[in-house]
Structure 1
């Protein structure tokens, strides 16, 4: 992931409503949710939600598709995965590590960080 793409993704997620939308879409899975359902679930007015979805789309954190008269939004798992990889690519100062999760990250070499 390019630094500029990471900055755009992080900026899009660095707002409470957008972060809530993204997390809701992650929970919804590949089926996604219509904008109206997102608005209802999170209590975000449609006009505000439209703005937030545009920001998430611009940062490539969500994807949209037309289904009849509804626009369905889905979390872009590839971008999210790339962002996590970008943020953790220098984990353990370049040493091989056992990073099942970043919270339990420890270098295999036994060195302390």
Structure 2
């Protein structure tokens, strides 16, 4: 990953709403979800969500698929994996085998969320 692409992705994720959208899309998985379901789940007005999805798409963090009148959004995990690789490529002085695995998620505190509605 080039530095400009890493900066674009990091900048896109450096906003609470975009980070929440991206994390929700990761949670949903590879089937993705329609924009309306994202708006409902996160309590966002359509215009606000549209703006943030455009920024995430521009940074290649989400992909979209047109389905008639609806658009399905899917997290692009490849971009985040490339970003993590970019950030850790010189880990431990170029000896990554000495570093703790970077893909192991740390336990997070419980967060209250709205219950998911069937789509």
Structure 2-normalised TM-score? 0.82
Query: Structure 1: which 5+ runs fail to align?
Result: 105-113
Q: Secondary structure at the match of 1:72?
A: strand
Using CA pairs below 8 Å that are at least 6 residues apart, which structure has the higher relative contact order? 2
The alignment status of 1:94 with 2:94, answered yes or no, reads yes
How far has the Cα of 1:93 moved from its partner?
A: 1.2
| Corresponding position of 1:33 | 33
Question: 1:44 is matched with which residue?
Answer: 44
Q: Which one has the largest radius of gyration?
A: 1
Judged with a 3 Å threshold, the aligned counterparts in structure 2 of structure 1 residues 90 and 40 are, in CA distance, closer, same or farther, namely same
Aligned to 1:102, the other structure's residue is in SS state: coil
Where do residues 63-74 of structure 1 align in structure 2 (5 Å cutoff)?
A: 63-74=63-74
Does residue 1:22 correspond to 2:22, yes or no?
yes
| Distance apart, 1:103 and its partner CA | 8.9
Structure 1 residue ranges (4+ consecutive) displaced by more than 6 angstroms after TM superposition? none
Runs of 5+ consecutive residues of structure 2 not aligned to the other structure: 105-119
Q: In the TM superposition, what whole-angstrom CA distance separates every residue of 1:19-60 from its partner, at most 9, and x where no partner exists?
A: 000000001111101000000000111110000000000000
Determine the C-alpha separation between the residues in 2 that align with 1:70 and 1:103.
33
2:100 and 2:93 map into 1 onto residues whose CA distance is: 16
- Please state which structure has a larger fraction of its residues in helix: 1
Structure 1 vs Structure 2 CA RMSD: 1.7
Give the drift of 1:102.
Answer: 3.2
Q: Output the CA distance in 2 between the equivalents of 1:56 and 1:4.
A: 15
Q: Post-superposition shift, 1:96?
A: 4.3
